[in-house]
A = this chain, B = another copy of it.
Amino acid sequence: MRRDVFQAIADPTRREILGMIAHKSLNINSVSENFDVSRAAIYKHMKILAECGLLEIKQQGRERFCEGRLERLNEVSDWVEQYRQFWEARFDSLDNYLKELQSKEKKNGKKK
């Protein structure tokens, strides 16, 4: 069974789970309460996320708290960034080069 970050984030439910635990750790029941599929289904999704390192499960009594390990998304980020030049390089006139810079500033502003 393939188990990599790209495949892990392909499923919309798993992306939602990641968004949910990005802010704070949650136990498995709390996460599954936010969906209308069964706990078992959510548990399987979380296991997949854990298996490719996107979250870490920490036992605490009878509960398991899941902590996001979002830095693993760097693999995706790196893969995408290697292609940025190919879609930004189209603009090769000075005019468009300036537009490109502007849009980059916007993007960087958004990051923080």
Which A positions have Cβ atoms within 8 angstroms of B?
2, 6-7, 9-10, 12, 15, 18, 22-23, 68-71, 73-74, 76-77, 79-81, 83-88, 104, 108, 110-112
Please give the count of copies of this chain that the complex contains: 2
Q: In the bound complex, do residue A83 and residue B87 qualify as a contact, i.e. CB atoms below 8 Å apart?
A: no
Looking at the complex, which one of B7, B22, B81, B104 makes contact with A83 (CB distance below 8 Å)?
Answer: B22
When distances are taken between beta carbons in the complex, the residues of chain B under 8 Å from A70 are: 83-84, 86-87
Q: In the bound complex, do residue A79 and residue B15 qualify as a contact, i.e. CB atoms below 8 Å apart?
A: yes
For A22, A83, A104, the residue with the greatest tally of chain B CB atoms inside 10 Å of its CB is: A83
For A22, A85, A86, the residue with the greatest tally of chain B CB atoms inside 10 Å of its CB is: A86
Closest chain-B Cβ to A100's Cβ sits at a distance in Å of 8
When distances are taken between beta carbons in the complex, the residues of chain B under 8 Å from A110 are: 81
Q: In the bound complex, do residue A68 and residue B80 qualify as a contact, i.e. CB atoms below 8 Å apart?
A: no
